Structure 1
Amino acid sequence: MQEELMEVSPIDIAKQKPAIIGIGASAGGLNAVKEFFKAFKSSLNVCFVVVQHLSAKYKSFMPELLGKYTSMDVRLARNGETLKGKTVYLCPPNHNIKIENHTIQVHTYDENEKINYPIDYFLKSLALSQREKAIAIILSGKGRDGAEGMKLIHEQGGICMAQDESAQCPDMPNHVIKSGIADFVERPKKIAAYMNQLLNQVKCKLSDEAVEKTIYLIQKQTGIDFSMYKKNSVSRRIERRMNLLDEQMLSLDEYNRYVMKHPEELQLLFNDLLIGVTHFFRDKESFDTLRKHFVPAIVENNIKKREKILPCLGRRVFHG
């Protein structure tokens, strides 16, 4: 069966919903953000949410500053608004921001939390809302904010990018890079160029026969059989690897020919299928119930049994 080309990009433009790209930056991140937007093509149907570490006392001049480097609308995010294309949304100082579907929610930091991680907070919502369509970039910044959010994006099949050694403060991007989940590591202007290419790529429909051939090639190289995996999950991972390649692949047959010549790409696909950072405790509510109710009851019951048995054992030892 031939792969059928679809008249859509990897982003769901047909429904007029823009791609959502998250950017996390902190110390030294202003220049990185400016460099990125200067190189990004603002004609694409996308929107950005930029999250930084800003004090409540800080008056943000970012809308005016970024407006010099992009033709997109740059604005502070407002609670309840729907995300629109060709717009850059900035998280207000001293606030957390998250999205549900394509709607923004903004609220002040939780006063009970000693440390806030606004980038992680947003990226986790991006991962759960957009899943394999999520795209995120971590630029210059101190600390590790963003690392956990990026792990969840990677787990959901999204795309993770990080600034290279050009970062003025490399802590934040380095945490992403060292975790092994960064799909692309470069300076901001090259990340922007790659983003332009990625968002313009054509998505192809993958036939079952072609997917099975890819699975066979993986098994031949690694000895691991993925034929029992859900076909949709395997297909999403294959599409992700195809989109990340510099060469535009118009069919899975073309990708299969490519991996036979480049076994290192097959290894990368194999690693993606394993999803090394996946969470074991997926159903949080169920495990919370076990932890709070069932486990304590089991432990208490065992303690009572032991208390009954020990005196009996003591009498046996005493009477020989």
Structure 2
Amino acid sequence: MNAKQETTRAAATRTPLIVGVGASAGGLEACADLLERLGNVEGLAIVFVQHLEPTGNSLLVELLSRHTPMKVSELSGRTKIKAGHLYVAPPHSLLRLKNGFVSVETQTEPPHRANSIDHFFHALAGDQGELSVGVILSGSGSDGTLGLKAISDSGGLTFAQDPATAKFDSMPRSAATTGVADHVMSPAQIAAEIIAYRQHLGELNSPPSHGWREDIGDTIPLIAEVLLKTTNHNFQHYKSSTLSRRIQRRMQLLRLSRADDYVARIREDADEARALFRELLIGVTAFFRDPEAFQSLARIVLPKLFENRTPGDCVRMWVAGCATGEEAYSLAILCREYLDHLPSRPEVQIFATDIDERALQIARNGSYPSGIEEQVSNDRLKRFFVKRGKRYTIVKEIRDMVLFSAHNLISDPPFSRQDLICCRNLLIYLGPNLQKKLIPLFHYALRPAGFLFLGPSESITSHTELFRPC
């Protein structure tokens, strides 16, 4: 064994690439196809989560063992994830992952609300980041879609089985149509991509490629220039760490080891430039993300916003960087709940903007997978959503409160005379000069005594003369 092979083997032993596989009805056959091709891959561990409870989980371990040389076992208690192992989630359980240890918890939600695949994929993304892989195979419903999005947002690799090859296609189709899957393929093709990806990661961890991430930083101005020409959006002043992570992810997908090669590729390939553009768009969002912040908004800010308002008044709000609409609809729901207690109700108009047209179309449709059950209470689901199959659609009274439109926060003129601006978890991705520019812009866009609602890691430290805490 040469030095490079020894280095790759050591890296694989320390941190196996964890592949989360989610399936439901019809998923065992697809999983068997996958396992037959992945069993001898060095530095790989697989965690298999079924959305529906199988009949006899010990039988599932036995069935999967027939298709792989990996050691197959049902998870219990707290287990260190090791390469060469396939771990099966027990029925009625949720998996947590921290520092490479997986823990089993008993489900407290009823079976129809138990999005066990989403739950594990979120945990996988949070713990392993870019070294995480998510796969959705045959199954009914939409469990796994939101989890794949979390893996993608963290820089990991995501797959959905080609619906044409799935016995039950709604789970992989949900992942494919919402754009959260990097690849939509047959199980055999997914296995081939994972093998190539694992080999590429081993090459990047070997001495000849040491320092490759630093090389990306040197090429950012060139890549930003190409993006500006191709998409008419300027990313020059985004945080270099944000740009580097997303460029790195594109390089890994293309299996490129040198940043200069990626610059050449993006200059020649407009489709790749647009793919990177979509990667750079910040789509990390959820309904009532950071619940305590929304509780404070309802308790402290809304009473002041609606004080002394009459039916002829209009309370105006702007959600900047709204992505797929969850935050804008959360704000609308809060306002509707507050208005229920007022004797006279003013109009509420929420402008929700983003530069991502694909995300805006999802927001306008107002249809979300069943995984939002973990974000939205039962009472709110019943009142503000209509369940259609395995998806939830926003009701008309809430949708009519929100106007979605394309708008570039950095280069387009701001909205004006707003009572509240919500711009959460966007500033953290921007460089300090751009942050300093946007805070005065928000101040200009607000009416006197207006409110600015930022994310938990964001502040206005350089413009304390413009705002004060509530």
Q: Quick check: 1:284 aligned with 2:290?
A: yes
Per-residue deviation at 1:123?
Answer: 0.9
Q: 1:134 aligns with which of 127, 132, 135?
A: 132
Which structure 2 residues correspond to residues 46-125 of structure 1 after superposition, within 5 A? 46-55=44-53, 58-111=56-109, 115-125=113-123
CA contact 1:83–1:102 (8 Å) conserved in 2: yes
124-133 vs 28-37, which moves further: 124-133
Per-residue deviation at 1:131?
Answer: 2.1
Which structure 2 residues correspond to residues 151-300 of structure 1 after superposition, within 5 A? 151-164=149-162, 165-201=164-200, 202-203=203-204, 204-207=212-215, 208-245=217-254, 248-275=255-282, 277-279=283-285, 284-295=290-301, 297-298=303-304
What letter matches 1:175 in structure 2? S
Residue 205 of structure 1 aligns to a residue in which SS?
Answer: helix
Residue 128 of structure 1 aligns to a residue in which SS?
Answer: helix
Residue 104 of structure 1 aligns to a residue in which SS?
Answer: strand
Residue 81 of structure 1 aligns to a residue in which SS?
Answer: strand
CA contact 2:26–2:138 (8 Å) conserved in 1: yes
Deviations 1:112-167 (A, max 9, x none): 67521111111111122122222100000001111111122222222211000201
What letter matches 2:275 in structure 1? L
CA contact 1:154–1:160 (8 Å) conserved in 2: yes
CA contact 1:206–1:252 (8 Å) conserved in 2: no
Correspondence for 1:306: none
Residue 148 of structure 1 aligns to a residue in which SS?
Answer: helix
What letter matches 1:195 in structure 2? I
Deviations 1:278-300 (A, max 9, x none): 21789605423424531464368
Deviations 1:1-35 (A, max 9, x none): xxxxxx977x9927802121111000000000000
Q: 1:18 aligns with which of 16, 19, 38?
A: 16
Count of residues in Structure 1 that have an aligned counterpart in Structure 2 = 297
Q: How far, CA to CA, are the matches of 2:55 and 2:67 in structure 1? A: 26
Q: How far, CA to CA, are the matches of 2:268 and 2:307 in structure 1? A: 61
Greater share of strand: 2
Q: How far, CA to CA, are the matches of 1:111 and 1:284 in structure 2? A: 21
**Structure 1 length-normalised TM:** 0.84
Q: How far, CA to CA, are the matches of 1:8 and 1:177 in structure 2? A: 36
Change in 2 beyond 3 A, CA 1:226/1:111: closer
**Same amino acid, percent of matched pairs:** 31
Q: How far, CA to CA, are the matches of 2:165 and 2:31 in structure 1? A: 12
Change in 2 beyond 3 A, CA 1:14/1:51: closer
Per-residue deviation at 1:78?
Answer: 1.6
Instruction: Please report the RMSD computed on the Cα atoms of aligned residues, expressed in angstroms.
Output: 2.8
What letter matches 1:64 in structure 2? E
Q: Which runs of 5+ in 1 are unaligned?
A: 1-6, 304-309, 311-320
Residue 215 of structure 1 aligns to a residue in which SS?
Answer: helix
Q: Which runs of 5+ in 2 are unaligned?
A: 1-5, 205-211, 310-343, 345-470
Change in 2 beyond 3 A, CA 1:212/1:169: same
Q: How far, CA to CA, are the matches of 1:94 and 1:56 in structure 2? A: 10
Task: Using CA pairs under 8 Å that are at least 6 residues apart, name the structure with larger relative contact order, 1 or 2.
Answer: 1
Q: How far, CA to CA, are the matches of 1:118 and 1:39 in structure 2? A: 25
Correspondence for 2:318: none
Change in 2 beyond 3 A, CA 1:227/1:137: same
218-227 vs 39-48, which moves further: 39-48
**Structure 2 length-normalised TM:** 0.58
Per-residue deviation at 1:55?
Answer: 3.1
107-116 vs 264-273, which moves further: 107-116
